[in-house]
Amino acid sequence: MNPIKCPKCSSKRTIWRGYRRNRSRDKRLRLCRACGRKFTPDDGYLRMRFKPQIIRKAVGLRKKGFSSAEVRTHLQRYEGAKVSRWTIIKWERRYRKKA
């Protein structure tokens, strides 16, 4: 994994330090040891409309061999999330290595 840079000073000397509570999940905070600033790193999910656990579940089901239509039905039934098949395919391409 690449070192996480401080958005303020671009230092790579950053460490995990605590959590910030969020409506959908707890976000981990990172502290920059160079300038002392705390920040939330962009983990790739920040701009997503759906919760990370839904994305992970979708990618996990695809890995197990379920079709995008089956995954879509599952997410709607058990997670209450309306996700298009195209979105699931996009997630799969983007997050396959992470999930």
Residue 9 binds Zn ion, judged by CB under 5 A: yes
Tokens representing residue 17 in the block: 């330090």
Residue 46 binds Zn ion, judged by CB under 5 A: no
Residue 30 binds Zn ion, judged by CB under 5 A: no
Binder to Zn ion among 30, 32, 55, 72 (CB under 5 A)?
32
For residue 89, the Cα-to-chain-centroid distance in whole angstroms is: 16
Q: Are 30 and 4 in contact (CB under 8 A)?
A: yes
Q: Are 55 and 42 in contact (CB under 8 A)?
A: no
Residue 15 binds Zn ion, judged by CB under 5 A: no
Residue 11 binds Zn ion, judged by CB under 5 A: yes
- C-beta of 47: minimal distance to Zn ion in Å? 22
Helix ranges restricted to H, 1-99: 52-63, 68-74, 85-95
- List interacting residues with Zn ion (CB under 5 A): 6, 8-9, 11, 32, 34-35, 37
